[in-house]
Amino acid sequence: MEFGLSEEQRLLQTSVGRYLEEASALDHVRKAAEAHAPLARDIWEGACELGVAGLLVPEAYGGLELGLLEAALMAEMMGRYVAPLPYVGTAVMAPLALMKGGSEAQKDAWLPKLASGEVIAGVGVSEVIGVRDGAGLRFENGQLNGTCLFVIDGPAADVFIVADLSGQLYLVEGQAKGLKRIDLTTIDLTRPVAELQLTNVQASPLPGGTADVTAEIIDAGRIMLAADTLGAGDMMIEKAVAYAKERQQFGRVIGSFQAVKHLCAEMAAELEPCRSLVWYAAYAQGAVPADARVMACHAKAHLSEVGRFVARTATEVHGGMGFTDLVGLHYWFKRIGLDRQLLGGPERVREEAARIQGWAA
């Protein structure tokens, strides 16, 4: 039995990685971040041509009909090049919600547009994980009322998939009457999120979009964030090692000092085992249902902690240069920071894992 990636999976990841290496170079990322742009449309169009937007969408709707493991490999590349793209919500969570819970009419109307990249989809499910500041949506008489926080891919969205406090999913068009969208500024300017305020907004329930389906799309989103952190951490280690080979102190490159060697080795030793964890968590979603939920929690929680360690340590290796915009290391640092908190911080996710396994009430 082969426990690694197939040749096709590696080729897919390599192809997208090569595209982003040029299209999402640091200068392009900096330009998008400084402009506070909801997304880099030019980069997104190129990614869509490679099939990124339709990765999970069935072939009947114009997609590639691949799995979450392939999606996680793409997410790793997104993090590696801090790509300012609407990937987690638009390419993963929204298509899954429609595929698993949407009516045939909803699938026909939206899946082809998502697969082509024609529309951006925002996903708001944070209140299912934990309600804060009185937020949350309530559905009555065909209308949604309330507030939805930290909507992934929300600022540029043409359509929204949101969940009420019971976990039921709804589809809301971006121009719906009574819908107010507020762009939120977080530490990560490469992936803005939004707050939605809904007042008597007409919404279409997803007939099969029950709490169980909502839990599945949250699991998928968490795995994508873990993979994003994996890619970002990998790049931070590479940058730290490259800097250690060039920077000189006392007539020697700092990479020759034992303390710096240890820092780099510790980062690699912590991050590399996470790769198989993310791969298995993604694989389990379709192939090992008994492990799916707990592995998604483990991947999200563990990568959140390891990612923070790598981000801090890589910055330390750079010394004072690590805090400058010239090096741009802060884009990866902040990316990992937002990954840590979206869809539940590590403490909350570990608590969920404990309940799933019967270790907590």
Give the pLDDT of residue 211.
Answer: 96
Q: Does any domain span residue 268?
A: yes
Strand pairing report for 248-249 and 121-124: unpaired
Q: Does any domain span residue 169?
A: no
Among candidate residues 36, 55, 88, the one where a domain is terminated: 88
Give the pLDDT of residue 168.
Answer: 98
DSSP string, 73-110: HHHHHHHHTT-----IIIIIIHHHHHHHH--HHHHHHH
Q: Does any domain span residue 138?
A: no
CB-CB contact of 116 with 268 (8 Å): no
Q: Does any domain span residue 189?
A: no
Cα distance from N-terminal residue to C-terminal residue, the chain: 38
**Number of structural domains the chain divides into:** 2
Q: What is the pTM of this model?
A: 0.96
C-alpha 236/C-alpha 257 separation (Å) is: 19
CB-CB contact of 42 with 31 (8 Å): no
Given pLDDT bands bounded at 50, 70 and 90, which one contains residue 320?
confident
> Which tokens is 334 given?
């902040």
| pLDDT digits 0-9 by tens, 91-117 | 999 999 999 999 999 999 999 999 999
Give the pLDDT of residue 39.
Answer: 76
Q: How do the residues of the chain divide into helix, strand and coil, expressed in percent and rounded to 5?
A: 60, 15, 30
CB-CB contact of 94 with 87 (8 Å): no
* Amino acid at site 217: I
Q: Does any domain span residue 36?
A: yes
Q: Does any domain span residue 93?
A: no
Q: 């690694």: which residue's tokens?
A: 4
Confidence check: pLDDT of 268 > 90:
yes
Give the pLDDT of residue 185.
Answer: 86
For 273-279, which contacts have Cβ atoms below 8 Å and span 24 or more sequence positions? 274/226, 274/230, 274/233, 274/299, 274/302, 274/303, 274/306, 275/230, 277/226, 277/302, 277/303, 278/72, 278/76, 278/223, 278/226, 278/227, 278/230, 278/303, 279/5, 279/69, 279/72
CATH of residue 234's domain is 1.20.140.10
| pLDDT digits 0-9 by tens, 122-179 | 999 999 998 887 899 999 998 999 999 999 999 999 999 999 999 999 999 999 999 9
Q: Does any domain span residue 23?
A: yes
Confidence check: pLDDT of 240 > 90:
yes
| Residue ranges making up the domain that contains 237 | 212-356
Among candidate residues 88, 118, 145, the one where a domain is terminated: 88
| pLDDT digits 0-9 by tens, 192-221 | 899 999 999 999 999 999 999 999 999 999
> Which tokens is 288 given?
């090992």
CA distances (Å), 334 to each of 22, 108, 187, 236, in order?
21, 37, 6, 12
CB-CB contact of 139 with 164 (8 Å): yes
* Amino acid at site 167: G
Task: Return all residues near 142 (Cβ < 8 A) that are at least 6 apart.
Answer: 202, 203
Confidence check: pLDDT of 77 > 90:
yes
Confidence check: pLDDT of 79 > 90:
yes
C-alpha 250/C-alpha 84 separation (Å) is: 40
CA distances (Å), 300 to each of 82, 167, 189, in order?
18, 20, 21
* Amino acid at site 254: I
In the chain, the percentage of residues whose pLDDT exceeds 70 is 99
CATH of residue 46's domain is 1.10.540.10
Among candidate residues 65, 88, 111, the one where a domain is terminated: 88
How many CB atoms are located within 10 Å of the residue 181 CB? 16
Tell me what the mean pLDDT of segment 64-69 comes to. Answer: 97
Given pLDDT bands bounded at 50, 70 and 90, which one contains residue 38?
low
Given pLDDT bands bounded at 50, 70 and 90, which one contains residue 36?
confident
Confidence check: pLDDT of 283 > 90:
yes
Given pLDDT bands bounded at 50, 70 and 90, which one contains residue 34?
confident
How many CB atoms are located within 10 Å of the residue 323 CB? 12
CB-CB contact of 146 with 198 (8 Å): yes
Tell me what the mean pLDDT of segment 235-257 comes to. Answer: 94
In the chain, the percentage of residues whose pLDDT exceeds 90 is 88
Q: Half-sphere exposure of residue 320, counting CA atoms within 13 Å on the CB side? A: 0
CB-CB contact of 184 with 144 (8 Å): no
For 266-270, which contacts have Cβ atoms below 8 Å and span 24 or more sequence positions? 266/313, 267/233, 267/236, 267/237, 267/240, 267/309, 267/310, 267/313, 267/314, 268/237, 270/306, 270/309, 270/310
| pLDDT digits 0-9 by tens, 291-313 | 999 999 999 999 999 999 999 99
Q: Does any domain span residue 131?
A: no
Confidence check: pLDDT of 2 > 70:
no
Q: If you count them, how many residues does the chain have?
A: 361
Give the pLDDT of residue 348.
Answer: 95
